Amino acid sequence: FFDDSKGTNVGSVLRALETFTQPVILLLGGRDKDGDFETLQPVLAAKAKKIVLFGEARERIASLIGQTVPVIKKTKLQEAVEVAYQEAVPGDVVLLSPGCASFDEFVNYKERGNFFRKVVENL
């Protein structure tokens, strides 16, 4: 499990994904900042095993990334982390790199990151 809660734009998500050689289950979402999520399609196809979308932006992101890889939609980050855990197998990376602001559910990205780590510790 990797916390990149500070990754609040599409460019940050791209850089985070490129650092891994293992299959990635990507947690993506929050409050939309009008990101160009369609530009992620090539790297998602190459790096992501599944995408778990959450928060206010989940429907918009789903419409922009298309059918690049399997997508699961959840309302809250906690649900997204739990389903990512269920979907992961040994060797997979679960990456929180939301590409969005945190304000739909949290005060800031730090609170979101702390919450993510707490949920992971309790799995």
Q: Give 86's contacts (C-beta < 8 A, 6+ positions apart).
A: none
CB 55 within 8 A of CB 70: no
pLDDT of residue 105: 96
User: Does residue 96 lie within any of the structural domains?
Assistant: yes
User: Does residue 2 lie within any of the structural domains?
Assistant: no
Domain count along the chain: 1
Give me the sheet containing 2-3, strands edge to edge: 2-3, 93-96, 24-29, 48-54, 71-73
Amino acid at 73: K
User: Does residue 1 lie within any of the structural domains?
Assistant: no
What CATH number should be reported for the domain holding residue 81? 3.90.190.20
CB 37 within 8 A of CB 65: yes
pTM equals: 0.96
- What average pLDDT is seen over the chain? 97
pLDDT of residue 59: 97
pLDDT tens digits, one per residue of 50-85: 999 999 999 999 999 988 899 999 999 999 999 999
